[in-house]
Structure 1
Amino acid sequence: MPQLELDGAVLFYDDEGPRDGDAAPLVLIHGWTANRHRWDHQLAHFSRTRRVIRLDLRGHGDSGGAGVRSIEELARDVLALLDHLEVDRFVPVGHSMGGMIAQTLALSHPGRVERMVLVNSIGRMTYSRGRGLLMAASTRVPFKLFVATNIRRAFAPGHPREEIRACVEASAALPREVVMTLYGAMRAFDVLDRVGEIAVPVLLVHGYHDIQLPVAQMLRMAKAYPDAEVRIIDAGHELPVERPAELTAALDRFLTEKAPVG
């Protein structure tokens, strides 16, 4: 399995698909406490016709390293991997926290992002007073209970329990420092007032039953994008797990319809 040593971490990644096409590589960026295998369906589909890169973010999955403090630091890791692979222009596809990383890349390196896909992601986390107090209180419970509660509520009602249990176990096995620090980083993330600067075509795919990052918050952000397309799918927050084929189909349509001409 390919890996990159970077600033005290070892990042594991996959780099598959043909290199001789005109299409910019897809860069699949997973979310909080997840790993690159969230994108198995998309990798299998898109790597038949184009280059696809996915990684385990620092402290997640097979990648080692701790001490990460911000979304910006994770974005720098992604960019360092792309530089290592000699990738210039690319299409970031980010789920949840991965979408925050994608937006950070689009704002900091606009000339390198051809298009962008945000899956169950937003530009600013907004809470009612009651929910804000509940979220603050949740960080004071035992770590494994905190993780289990957050992961379980990410799925729409009726999702198979064994799949939810597997996600909970994988998330709870991550270093506590990584999980809690990035939880705080997501809550502090705010680029909503800047997304209007991102002029490339953007696809926002969201689960109708997402209570982690509600649809209303995504739609508020979508209005600020100059060129945004929205797709709502009957799922919760974990679209890559809950509806992988529908997500792939939505990405396929967007990538085909928005393909650069000439």
Structure 2
Amino acid sequence: MALENHAEQYADIRGLRLAYIDFGGTGTPVLALHGHFGRARMFAPLAAALAPGYRVIALELRGHGHSDRAAEHGPDAYVEDVAAFARELGLGPLIVVGHSMGGVVGFRLAARHPGLVRALVNEEGGALNRRPEIPHPVLDVRPWPRRAATLAELRRGVEAHGVPDAAYFLESAVEHDDGWGFLFDHDAMVESQEALIGDWWPDWLGSTCPALLVHGLDSFVLPTGMAREMAARRPGTVLRELPGCGHWAHDDDPAAFAGAVAAFLESRCP
């Protein structure tokens, strides 16, 4: 499924212009939510793997990708944006897939707007995001370069700040009139990550729909013990642990990730 065949569209949601990609089809709708610094396009491989039985629609949250920036970037604002977007599409109740911060937004959506969510797929979104359980809940991107002459120079500038591989972040890199830079605002992304610090257990336990928790066993963001506790404490939750995968399991092993999602959906949302 080629990305170029699925252009971004826009919806006016709560005073903002939000970008999204509808990967098409007539199957059961799936709403996909990226994590911090992410883009809707990251879900193209999953959409291809799930077609034609499922129609993946990936939203770019406020402040990310080509969606508008706003005065507030935090989990409450994201949840209400997603709820309004789901109602605008009129396709609910939806299956919601979320990665990292998008996973937290997804399970908070299910807790606060249960009529909108049929099932959850949470990839690496923790129920607890604070020190000391999570040693580094915020990636400070404020020192990163704002502009660079080339994409390669932008990569080097990011990796010089201790990022081993900048590929994920470079998905949000574009060429501006004055050089290469990111679509996201550096300060807003730090603000958004800081707003996600907290105890989200009540929201994780606050819904009753079927849920799949996907955990990369090499993740530095979601501890394995927490992932297992999340599955044990929430009825109707299936835990899939992916060996050799980290926080971005969907990139580390796309086939295993898509297979886990497909098997769950076929058993719980045929």
* Fold shared by both chains (TM-score > 0.5): yes
Of the structure 1 ranges 191-200 and 54-63, higher mean CA displacement relative to structure 2 is found in: 191-200
Residue type at the aligned position of 1:50: Y
- Aligned pairs for 1:177-256 within 5 A: 177-188=187-198, 190-233=199-242, 234-256=244-266
2:37 touches 2:169 (CA, 8 Å); kept in 1?
Answer: no
Alpha-carbon offset, residue 35 of structure 1 = 0.8
1:66 touches 1:177 (CA, 8 Å); kept in 2?
Answer: no
**Partner of 2:178 in structure 1?**
none
SS in 2 for 1:206: strand
1: CA distance, partners of 2:160 / 2:231: 28
Instruction: Give the paired residue count.
Output: 243
Residue by residue, what CA displacement relative to the aligned partner does 1:138-168 show, whole Å, maximum 9, x if unpaired? Answer: 7497245997589946xxxxxxxxxx33323
2: CA distance, partners of 1:3 / 1:247: 28
SS in 1 for 2:201: coil
Give the structure-1-normalised TM-score. Answer: 0.82
**Partner of 1:123 in structure 2?**
127
Alpha-carbon offset, residue 32 of structure 1 = 0.6
Residue type at the aligned position of 2:143: P
**Partner of 2:36 in structure 1?**
32
Alpha-carbon offset, residue 9 of structure 1 = 2.8
**Partner of 1:158 in structure 2?**
none
Of the structure 1 ranges 42-51 and 104-113, higher mean CA displacement relative to structure 2 is found in: 42-51
**Partner of 1:159 in structure 2?**
none
The RMSD of aligned alpha carbons is 2.7
Q: Which has the higher strand share?
A: 2
**2:20 aligned to 13, 34, 39, which one?**
13
Of the structure 1 ranges 111-120 and 192-201, higher mean CA displacement relative to structure 2 is found in: 192-201
1: CA distance, partners of 2:268 / 2:217: 24
**Partner of 1:44 in structure 2?**
48
Alpha-carbon offset, residue 135 of structure 1 = 6.0
Alpha-carbon offset, residue 99 of structure 1 = 0.5
Alpha-carbon offset, residue 12 of structure 1 = 1.0
Residue by residue, what CA displacement relative to the aligned partner does 1:163-217 show, whole Å, maximum 9, x if unpaired? Answer: x3332334672202321111101213x2213433321111100100001222222
How many percent identity over aligned positions?
27
**Partner of 1:108 in structure 2?**
112
CA gap of 1:64–1:51, structure 2 versus 1, over 3 A, is same
1:152 touches 1:168 (CA, 8 Å); kept in 2?
Answer: no
CA gap of 1:54–1:238, structure 2 versus 1, over 3 A, is same
SS in 1 for 2:71: coil
**Partner of 2:103 in structure 1?**
99
1:29 touches 1:99 (CA, 8 Å); kept in 2?
Answer: yes
Alpha-carbon offset, residue 82 of structure 1 = 1.5
Residue by residue, what CA displacement relative to the aligned partner does 1:222-244 show, whole Å, maximum 9, x if unpaired? Answer: 22211111111121101122111
Report runs of 4+ in structure 1 exceeding 6 Å deviation.
none
2:120 touches 2:209 (CA, 8 Å); kept in 1?
Answer: yes
- Aligned pairs for 1:141-156 within 5 A: 142-143=143-144, 152=163
2: CA distance, partners of 1:192 / 1:146: 37
**Partner of 2:149 in structure 1?**
none
2: CA distance, partners of 1:169 / 1:236: 18
Residue type at the aligned position of 1:244: P
Alpha-carbon offset, residue 67 of structure 1 = 2.0
Give the structure-2-normalised TM-score. Answer: 0.80
Alpha-carbon offset, residue 26 of structure 1 = 0.7
**Partner of 2:59 in structure 1?**
55
2: CA distance, partners of 1:128 / 1:146: 29
